[in-house]
Structures are given as structure tokens and as C-alpha cells.
Amino acid sequence: MSNWSDKSVFYHIYPLGCCGAPPENDFSSPPQGRLRRLCSTAERIRNRGFTAVYLGPVFESSRHGYDTADYHLTDRRLGTNEDLAALCEAFHDAGLRIVFDAVFNHVGRKFHAFRDLLEKKNASAYCGWFEKLDFSNPNACGDPFSYATWQGYHDLAKLNLGNAEVREHLFHAVDQWIRNYNIDGLRLDAADCMDREFLSALAAHCRKRKPDFWLMGEVVQGNYSDWASPGCLDSVTNYEAYKGLYSSFNDGNFFEIAWTMNRLSGAEGICRNVNLYNFADNHDVDRIASRLKDGRHLHPLYCLLFAMPGVPSIYYGSEFGITGKKHEGSDQPLRPALDIENLPALTGGEKLAATISSLASLRIGNAALQHGTYEPLAVKDRQLGFLRRTPDQAIAVLINSSDTTADMECRLDSFAGKNLRDLLNPGWSVPITEGRMQISIDGNWARFLEVT
């Protein structure tokens, strides 16, 4: 299994939105080099503390990138393959790993095999490429056949991933991405809809070409260990913790996120050996600044995101506290055109960005935060304490979501006689007396206390 991600802090960019691409692809306009605009952001992203970029869909599609038309051609609304290669080179030169969005569960109606099916019907050589193809049952689109879709969307036709020709086509695309763009991993869209045998075959194929290749799957519900396990995926999206993050702050109920972290990562946790992919928002859900009832909770929430077990990710612009909510079912407000390079001046969110940069440095510099065990210490409605520990390091994390200073007392019997050094406030330390720590935490803030 790959481990470079353990030390990573991800920056998630949705290029079609960020670069201001038109919502519809006319498939006739000349390529527009919008991706080139992101090249100048590479150093700034790295300087903010990020070490990896998860790049949303970049290949030719009809609308949003998840309705793929061509796995080998950069979406003309973003530029050419040469533009994409230049962007990847800029990211790598800045010391950033790159993960592409891989949409393998389904394709759009402009995909070559589906177009052939529309033209030739049951005489098409691609009949075996699609699941549940039925020529006795016309569909709502007026096609003389029906087929499996993703969640009932007819513009997303589900591929038959058990078909050898389909696998060859997809694996060849991955080979091209590794060869031409030197990518370091894939985020697999709708992984929870894909057959595990396909995912295992894909994993073996990728790791044969790049032993440390990282595979992360989008899983919304289910037992994450069914996908993130030896021989399959390295990680999955932690939607369970995502929900617990914002609702624990909104409801004044840290018992929810404490229960989730213990269920997933505690001593008997179902994912205790997996670094799940953690996020406060992404291209599919409301921005966290819009989701929280109290904007002052942004700082302690991000402290928790970076301290909890897993790999933290920040969605572009959210480090500056930008807002965005779905509107009448549209995701467009979540995916705005942004000038990443000049966001500080445009948003005024420098303080939050500085907090996130500090947290990124803490995570990158401390093994206990990267892959340490999770041990509960204390939980109240608005205060939470837990320990991250490796054989060589232990860090106690205390979070306070109340408006006023809170006192917390926790048992640390195995560290009696030692001291606690505050990593967020250099120069501050306190002894562990008789195996007990008593600490004050400022309102809407946190402490990261290393045992020394």
C-alpha cells in the first residue's frame, strides 16, 4: 500500500469551475488554454503548506467532467494535452504530488462507444460495453434501448467493467496519464458503485507501473474497509466524518464526531489501519463556511480536521472562508471561477488561511498526526480531547467550540512526570502532574500538546 499520502495535505481544484469554463461543451470550438492560468499558482499552493493536488475532471466531456467523452483528450474548454502536461510539470516542479479524477463507472452519451451504439443499435461492436443493455425496452431519452445509469441519470451510462475490452480501454488511459503527466494517483469517482474485482485489477495494474501509486475511492456510504484494504484501494472519502464535523459544531455535540472517530480509528476501529480522505467540503457539498451556523467555528473545525486520523484536504478557496450553497439542485455555486493566486486580496480571509498553513506544517512535521493511533481522552458538548500516538511521539489534541475559555482535565497516566509542549503556541509548556493534565483552551480554538 502507498504511504506518501500519510504525510500529505491535499488541495482540491475543480478545473472546469475554477478556470471559468463554459458549462456546455460544443465539441467544435478550438481548445482554450485555461489550464495554463493555474501554472502560476503552483508555488503559492505549495507555500501555503499543501503537498498534493487533487485535480477534478480534466478530460473531454459534455458538461461537468463526469460525463466523459474521451479519456485521452483534455477538455477543449480547458486546453490541450500540452496545456495539461505543462500544468502537471509546474505542480511537480513545486514539489506537489498530482492525483487525477478518474471517472470509470460511467461515461457520457458523447463517448465513442455510446455514439456507435446509438447509430448501429444491436449491430454495434460495443453492445458488451454497457451494463443491462436491453433492446426490448426503449428509454425516456427516446433511445430504442435502455441501459444502466448512475443514479437514474440517462446522460451517465454505466460501463460494463467486467468486459475485457472496456478494461483495456480504461487501463490504456491510465497508462497514458502516467506516461504523459507523471501522475501520482487517482481519485475514483463513484467507487462505491464499482465491482471490487475491477478495483483490485486496476490497483494491480497501476502499482505494476508505479509501485507507490495512490488510489482513493469516492464512497458515500458503507463499510469503508470493504474498499480500502490490501490489494484494493489505499483510501476512501470519509463522508461519515464530514457529516460529524459540521454537525458537532452546529449542534454543540462533540459526542457525535467522537463516536465516529472511535468507530473508524479507535483501538477496535474498522479502519484503524487506513488513512481515510478527510474534508470539510468539496465540489458536491455546500462550502463549510455556508454550512456552519457560526463562522467563528471555522478555526477550531480545521484544527480538528488536521488532527483527526486521516489525510486532510482543502477545497479551493475554502482556506479563505468563501461561501457557496447548492441552488435549485445546481452545483455551480460550489464550483466558482476563482483567481487562486489573488484570493487573499479578494476575500480578506488571510487569518483563516494562516491558521490552515500552520496546521499543515504541524501535520507534515509530526508523525503522530500523520499515522498515529487514536485514543479518546475526554468529550463534552463543546470540548473534545484525544491522543495521537506513535512509538516515538504522542500529541494530545484539545478542541473548544464554545465562545469562552474552557478548562479540560484528562488522564495521561503513562506519561506521568513528563511535560506537554504546545505546538500551536511555541514556548508554552506545562507538566503532567500525577498522570493528569489540566489545561485551559481559548474560545473557538485548540491546543496541540506534544509529550516531552
Give the structural domain span for 131.
Answer: 110-153
Tell me, what's the pLDDT at 428?
87
More confident residue, 340 or 53: 53
Tell me, what's the pLDDT at 348?
65
pLDDT of 426 higher than 90:
no
Instruction: Tell me the pLDDT of the chain averaged across its residues.
Output: 96
pLDDT of 153 higher than 60:
yes
Residues 65 and 177 in one domain: yes
pLDDT of 347 higher than 70:
no
pLDDT of 2 higher than 90:
no
Q: Report pTM.
A: 0.97
pLDDT of 102 higher than 60:
yes
pLDDT of 296 higher than 50:
yes
Distance separating alpha carbons of residues 386 and 339, to the nearest angstrom: 38
Residues 45 and 64 in one domain: yes
CATH of residue 228: 3.20.20.80
Of 321, 309, 300, nearest to 254 (Cα)? 300
Tell me, what's the pLDDT at 345?
63
In this prediction, residue 346 has a pLDDT band, given cuts at 50, 70 and 90, of low
Share of the chain above pLDDT 90, in %: 94
Tell me, what's the pLDDT at 1?
44
Domain boundary, last residue among 153, 169, 185? 153
pLDDT of 185 higher than 90:
yes
Give the DSSP per-residue string, 248-310.
HHHTT-HHHHHHHHHHHHSTT-TTTT---EEES--TTS--HHHH-S-GGGHHHHHHHHHHSSS
Distance separating alpha carbons of residues 203 and 215, to the nearest angstrom: 7
Domain boundary, last residue among 326, 352, 370? 370
Residues 177 and 259 in one domain: yes
Of 98, 85, 77, nearest to 34 (Cα)? 77
Tell me, what's the pLDDT at 233?
98
Domain boundary, last residue among 135, 153, 171? 153
Tell me, what's the pLDDT at 329?
85
Q: Looking at the 3D structure of the chain, how many domains does it have?
A: 3
Tell me, what's the pLDDT at 160?
98
